[in-house]
Structure 1
Amino acid sequence: MGVWLLYSVMVPYLMYPHSLCSVWLLLLEPQRQVIQRSGLQLDSLGMPVLMWPHQPLVRTQSSPAYTSLPPPPHPPPAVPSLSLSSPPADTKLRLVYDSQMQKHQCTCGDNSLHYEHPGRVQSIWSRLNERGLRSQCERINSRKATLKELQSVHSENHVLMYGSNPLHQLKLDNRKLAGILSQRIFVMLPCGGVGVDIDTIWNELHTSAASRIAAGCVTDLALKVAQGELKNGFAVVRPPGHHATHSSPLGFCFFNSVAIAAKQVQLKLNVSKILIVDWDVHHGNGTQDAFYNDPNVLYISLHRYDNGNFFPGSGHPSEVGAGAGEGFNVNVAWTGGLDPPMGDAEYLAAFRAVVMPIAHEFSPDLVLVSAGFDAVEGHSSPLGGYKVTAKCFGFLTRQLMSLAGGRVVLALEGGHDLKAICDASEACVSALLGMEVRCLFLCLHITYMYFPYPGMHILFSAPCAKYALSKTDLDEDKPDFKQRMPLFSRKDLT
């Protein structure tokens, strides 16, 4: 017999209804029906030699890479000891990077016209060197993901279409390859280059290799950390991956590196539970689709949603997983635009009230982070428009290190303002090294003030249960503040 546990809590009266209150509006939205997430069918290949009829994202130019963070101490303080069932053989932070990924660039030759460009990873790598963080880490060798590894997430046609360069194509079955390559339809970009859609450029000589290196780097790092060879790691890779679906590239992404890494850890190692946290400002539609039916992978995304009007339009809170995976897909979908934009307080509140309680209940063996930094202050509205500080992501990284015995791997996803992504990468690497995060005192005070109850984690862990119901009463006398009295019912299936 299942046991029904009832919890109720009065939402505090909030002075800022659009920002902090939006956290509550998101979490307490009635979920009387669990809808099946239909596969995202996007014709991302466009039309041959035609200008794309509309532009899904209008992107802005990146700013210079300079720092606003204080210098790190040298030498750094010792990494705190974390409880591990089997301690890693080497506790030094590992970085992975390959300059070959810089060759993936538009054939127009003008990187200033594109927002996913080689300068992103080059600037981050230079920043880590300049700040002395690179010397405190060790670098592991890069490699290309194999075609078989890519096919653990993507279709064979997709892998052969975008994962085989001209030299490799000569080794494949000519008739089969000809049929697949004939399906590739490219778009003429305004700059004169070629893309698979208006945002996603294609370089016949280098895109395939760069995409496979990115996937291989993240996969190798995840495998080594999961096996206990390494403590944690950061992958400075491009192109990003979390928008790539089973059979389509999208939003700068060709192969879903984090999803491939998770699949390979599942297939090759005795790892039963993997947590994927995606804090890119855009929803990771491809990663969600890859594990939508899998109860062994908990996917949590924090993203700008705006009622489906922000790219890619997916990631509604009602998308909670399907079949055996029902309840293991959690979307913290910010809405309401940028009046005001979300910032540290909202992200800290979401982590305290949603992400960390659910993650601790799930108790993962490995944590993978799709570390997009386009929510960091410095990105224009079409690219994100939020005001999260770089230091906040360092603090969130430290929070995640309390899970899985500290086995945490960050992989770069989006983020196009060079200063913002360099600052955020520096903050996250510093956190992985065990350095103290000195910031956010006011935001932490606000977060704890509005989420003060010790037992509240039980309430917000409901999405991780297979069955969860909620009932909400709206105070009609105060519609602007939308005070709610939620009553959650959770069925204990044991």
Structure 2
Amino acid sequence: MSGNTSDQSFPEPATDDFLTLYHQTEYIEQIKQTTTMEDNELKQLSATLDSVYFNKHTDLSARLSVGSWIQAVDLIHHGDVRNAFCLVRPPGHHALTNEACGFCIYNNVAIAANYAIEKLNYNRILIVDWDVHHGNTTQYAFYDNPKVLFISIHRYDNGEFWPNLRESNYDFIGTGRGRGFNVNIALNDKDIGDSDYLTIFHRIVLPLAYEFDPELVLVSAGYDSSFGCPVGQLNLSPSLYAHLTHKLMAFAEGKVIVGLEGGYYLDTLSESVGHTLSALLGDPMPSLDPMKPINPSVLETISNCISTLSFRWKFLHIYPLLNDNVLFPDISHLKLQSWSDVKVPNFEPTDEHHNVEDKLGIEKRFDYLKNTHPIAGNNKISGTCLVYDNRMQNHKNEEDPTYPENPERIKHTYALLKQLGLKRRCKCIEARYATRTELLRVHTEEYVNTIASTVNMEQTALNDFGASENSVYFNCHTYDNALLASGSLLAVIDEVCSGESLNGMALIRPPGHHALKDRCMGFCFFNNVAIGARHAQQVYGLERIAIIDWDVHHGNGTAEIFEDDPNILYISVHRFDHGRYFPNSDFSSSQFCGTGEGLGRTIHIAWNGRDVKDGDYIVAFINIIIPILYEFRPQLILVSAGFDAAHGDKLGRLGVSPKCFAHLTHLLMTVVHLNPSVYTLNHRKNSPIISTPTRQTRQRLQQEKSISYSGGLVLALEGGYQITALSQCVAHCVATLLGDNCPRLSSNLSISEKSCKSMQQTIEIHANYWNMLKGFDPVNRFYDQDSIRRPVIGRNTRQNPQNTTTTTISSSSSSSSSNTTIELNNESDLVHSKLNNLCLNDKQPITKCTSTPGDNNNNHLDDEFSQLFKTKLTLNADSSLNNTSDRLRSTSISKHPSERLYVHEQNSYETLNNSESTVAKTSGVVIDPSESHHQQQPSTSNGSGFTSEDIHDFFGLPSSHELTSQVFAVTPLSWCPHLISVHNNPNWKPDINSLCNSCNHSNENWVCLSCYSVYCGRYANSHMIEHFNITKHSIVLSYADLSTWCYQCESYVHNEILLNMKRAVYQAKFGEDMPGSS
């Protein structure tokens, strides 16, 4: 699809070359044979499988289904369309490599993803599976692959819902390099509706997607979670799918492919597909019913997912940490099975049809949903209106032309809109002046008179007047321009609320959000947005208006004006610095939440410090602002759009990119039209509020008809004082309003510890007022001891030769090469040796091969997918002091009996204890990690065997250098359990000159290897210790000497998982590769 039009394509059947991207050749041949089978043969084949049927057309249909996905990938990749919907069947997400299952023949989405990766060189693909059943075989396909983030939202019922698999639960998060990239959001209740799925998206799907930064988004779109489906039995409204789709369109520059999976109630299926298509076409979002409280079981599911995944994803750290390194809960009491346990599950049949009485109720409910929340798509309405008038440049500082708030701000911005062709695509409307009556809805009459009197004052007197106020200046045009700014915003609101435009941008100055009822301050004279909100209330009868203020300064004027108004929701995201940042008031803290009837309607997200960037704003929006807006259901959203939080702005001094504001705008567009259409006109003529001007009322009465209106979004310029950044920010916002794709944000988005604390404070306060903020309780961080590489655990099995598996280790050194055999005591030891050698970010490829299983009577292990089989483990070791490397080749545990994986890993170790490594070589015993978890005591003698020549050579000292009388050596731990907290980011570019985030200290700084925050060490101001005490991020790296320290073990640590970070710092520090890193 392109723009607001769609093109229908007819695919070619997928060839075997495409099918073999996931399926086995023998299986493909078996499906081919179904075209010539007799009916009784087809029935016999189906009887051996779970929920599958065949006829002579099955193979062609399945190939067309795959072909549709492949064609969609190609069209999007080459830029022919920006997104696609594959209306296909049979579905695919249950099809195994060698077996049909669950109505699925070929795994469409897995083949499409592999095609994009292997043929088109994509590196990051997001797959979201919202079918009510777990996409188990899509999980199998990418379980160890960090190039695919797979997120499945499915009904689980503690293993009682099909496909009843152990691996469908939340704690199956991937393995090896793919650990943390498999996400199972397992639902354990069927009383689940729109608010539950929105919460799942806001707290898990969107945070992970933003941090992952996909290049392509694929959606396994099953609609069996829709209301009325007898299979899923959940309660999602069809219109919800438009909202979910729109949220995913923020990623990958809009490259989204949605493909049909399940959905078995035809009415809601077709309606749900229609809503999804409408969203892909860029239509306005449909309305939703009011949000219900979140199901407690969903909150528990989310909490479990956060506990399991927060080691990998920084954006999940908005949840407070209760305890670190907590073992996974015991769920052995559940009757669960893995796919390897059975070929065809034997489940009790269920009645998947509605009885007559239920069907009548469902049809009545469906008619309500269809009529109340229809599929959007009113192409008669203009998209975006724009107001600008160059007369607003007349207000300027006559004494200082370089003053931050100057006419160049809007002049340069408007020029860029014209240059980019955005102005041409907007509906440009005429600016107008605000009337006195309109001003008096907000400001006192005495104050309005005072500002009006400046017109006749001399410039000297104006300078004195400005000096007596807080950060304002005047000239003879100030009053005129202030009226024009307020009136121009009202013109945009009129355009939107009358249904003439969907949204609008008011490019105006001077700004307004600091202006109080009776006082000017902070460059502001009349509070434009407050005047606009009152205008919408009175003239159009709107009862719920939201004001979002993302200017870096708190909009204290707007907050004070509406502090007791329950019909105005005011949300401000601003820099606070504990009251030391303008407007320098405790009123701007997160503690203030309104007064009287407006209690809970004022929401402050108050940043403390400068370390605030894109990630912090994104997390604040998707976890706090957007959920609250879904619950509040505004009829109009006004944005105090200041851009002084942008990178480079000397007033804000934060680091938000212009692209980020496009994403914030996109997120707001999802919640603009939550209400069903209403009729707006001046039906509050008898309101006690001051009436609208006569000319305005007559203009509306002349229409002689009511206007259908469902909501609108209006942006009004506030601050922003770096001209280039301001212009780009506005351009990105306008492009998004026009329906353009969101640009991709820079990779490696992060969130600071201080920002997390600020948001947690806001959530803690407002969870008392908003159901959509409930459930952010502190979480444990689950720990899986098998997820970090340790030295291979072994035993000298000469003492116990029974029941052993032989493992061959080939050791080579500069002097000799020999083979040493280590016998692991039993099958469990072999498994532990392999699991303990899995690395979180191993860069070596994983390739498929065929291996020969050993004894078929091996026991199943509950924590893995498949049967254990015996194999040989070959380890090539170079035991030299400077560079010791292990090359491990082993056969991994497979996901199901028919498929084996060959894992090839190449890893380098640094031997830090030469004597231990020598013992290991000669004795054939691999050292247990527990034997090396200590630090050697400092030696005061030469008993180590080193001569002075050895020491000079080892440390690279000239032979003439005088040595101290004592040499101390510390052997770091080779493994510790807290390595699980390390976030290994291969794209990290360290700035070794970074200052401490708390005190700007420049020496003895350390970087946290969980969140990459920089703080000073214990010999400076100990801010890294404070960071650890708050976050429990244990592992830190010294920028001074590249050592790594674990605060919980109170020891230095050196493990292979840390090498990438050490290499990066070495490269940044010395401009060359670290020795031994090649």
- CA separation of 1:266/1:86 partners in 2, compared to 1, >3 Å: closer, same or farther? farther
State the partner residue of 2:588.
315
In 1: Cα distance, 2:481 partner to 2:494 partner:
20
State the partner residue of 1:206.
477
Q: Secondary structure at the match of 2:448?
A: helix
Residue 93 of structure 1, aligned match among 384, 388, 404:
384
Matches within 5 A, 1:309-388: 309-313=580-584, 314-335=587-608, 337-338=609-610, 341-380=611-650, 383-388=651-656
Instruction: Report the AA paired with residue 549 of structure 2.
Output: D
- CA separation of 1:282/1:23 partners in 2, compared to 1, >3 Å: closer, same or farther? farther
Matches within 5 A, 1:14-33: none
Q: Secondary structure at the match of 2:740?
A: coil
Q: Secondary structure at the match of 1:385?
A: coil
Q: Secondary structure at the match of 1:332?
A: strand
Q: Secondary structure at the match of 2:574?
A: strand
Structure 1 residue 433 displacement after superposition: 0.5
State the partner residue of 1:396.
664
TM-score under structure 1 normalisation?
0.70
Equivalent pair of 1:187/1:197 in contact (CA under 8 Å)? no
- CA separation of 1:465/1:20 partners in 2, compared to 1, >3 Å: closer, same or farther? closer
1:137 aligns with 2:422: no
In 2: Cα distance, 1:308 partner to 1:23 partner:
23
Identify unmatched segments of 5+ residues in structure 2.
1-292, 321-372, 674-710, 757-762, 781-1024, 1033-1078
Equivalent pair of 2:628/2:772 in contact (CA under 8 Å)? no
Equivalent pair of 1:273/1:296 in contact (CA under 8 Å)? yes
Residue 235 of structure 1, aligned match among 489, 506, 512:
506
Matches within 5 A, 1:51-200: 90-108=381-399, 110-112=400-402, 114-163=403-452, 166=455, 188=464, 195-197=467-469, 199-200=471-472
Deviations 1:92-147 (A, max 9, x none): 31110111110001232x412x1100000101111101111111112111111111
Q: Secondary structure at the match of 1:370?
A: strand
Q: Which has the higher contact order (CA 8 A, sep 6+)?
A: 1
Instruction: Report the AA paired with residue 395 of structure 2.
Output: H
In 1: Cα distance, 2:556 partner to 2:514 partner:
5
1:411 aligns with 2:682: no
Residue 533 of structure 2, aligned match among 259, 262, 267:
262
Instruction: Report the AA paired with residue 411 of structure 1.
Output: A
Structure 1 residue 319 displacement after superposition: 0.8
State the partner residue of 2:568.
297
- CA separation of 1:208/1:354 partners in 2, compared to 1, >3 Å: closer, same or farther? same
- CA separation of 1:5/1:436 partners in 2, compared to 1, >3 Å: closer, same or farther? closer
State the partner residue of 1:424.
729
Equivalent pair of 2:387/2:505 in contact (CA under 8 Å)? yes
Structure 1 residue 440 displacement after superposition: 2.2
Instruction: Report the AA paired with residue 592 of structure 2.
Output: E
Point out the more displaced range, 460-469 or 145-154. 460-469
1:439 aligns with 2:744: yes
Equivalent pair of 2:511/2:717 in contact (CA under 8 Å)? yes
Q: Secondary structure at the match of 2:383?
A: coil
- CA separation of 1:459/1:472 partners in 2, compared to 1, >3 Å: closer, same or farther? closer
Equivalent pair of 1:200/1:250 in contact (CA under 8 Å)? yes
- CA separation of 1:196/1:132 partners in 2, compared to 1, >3 Å: closer, same or farther? farther
Q: Secondary structure at the match of 1:373?
A: coil
Instruction: Report the AA paired with residue 350 of structure 1.
Output: A
Deviations 1:341-365 (A, max 9, x none): 2001100000111010001111111
In 2: Cα distance, 1:446 partner to 1:363 partner:
28
Structure 1 residue 164 displacement after superposition: 5.1
In 1: Cα distance, 2:729 partner to 2:575 partner:
18
In 2: Cα distance, 1:119 partner to 1:136 partner:
23
Equivalent pair of 2:616/2:751 in contact (CA under 8 Å)? no
In 2: Cα distance, 1:256 partner to 1:438 partner:
32
In 2: Cα distance, 1:373 partner to 1:319 partner:
24
Residue 249 of structure 1, aligned match among 520, 532, 541:
520
Structure 1 residue 159 displacement after superposition: 0.9
- CA separation of 1:147/1:332 partners in 2, compared to 1, >3 Å: closer, same or farther? same
Structure 1 residue 186 displacement after superposition: 5.7
Equivalent pair of 1:142/1:216 in contact (CA under 8 Å)? yes
Instruction: Report the AA paired with residue 298 of structure 1.
Output: L
Equivalent pair of 2:615/2:750 in contact (CA under 8 Å)? no
State the partner residue of 2:942.
none
Deviations 1:57-103 (A, max 9, x none): xxxxxxxxxxxxxxxxxxxxxxxxx9788959522311101111100
In 1: Cα distance, 2:572 partner to 2:670 partner:
19
Point out the more displaced range, 311-320 or 294-303. 311-320
Structure 1 residue 188 displacement after superposition: 4.0
Percent identity over the alignment? 35
In 2: Cα distance, 1:273 partner to 1:297 partner:
6
1:288 aligns with 2:559: yes
- CA separation of 1:117/1:4 partners in 2, compared to 1, >3 Å: closer, same or farther? closer
Q: State the Cα RMSD in Å.
A: 3.9
- CA separation of 1:464/1:219 partners in 2, compared to 1, >3 Å: closer, same or farther? farther
Equivalent pair of 1:95/1:138 in contact (CA under 8 Å)? yes
In 2: Cα distance, 1:86 partner to 1:159 partner:
43
Q: Secondary structure at the match of 1:303?
A: strand
- CA separation of 1:226/1:463 partners in 2, compared to 1, >3 Å: closer, same or farther? farther
TM-score under structure 2 normalisation?
0.33
State the number of aligned residues. Answer: 390
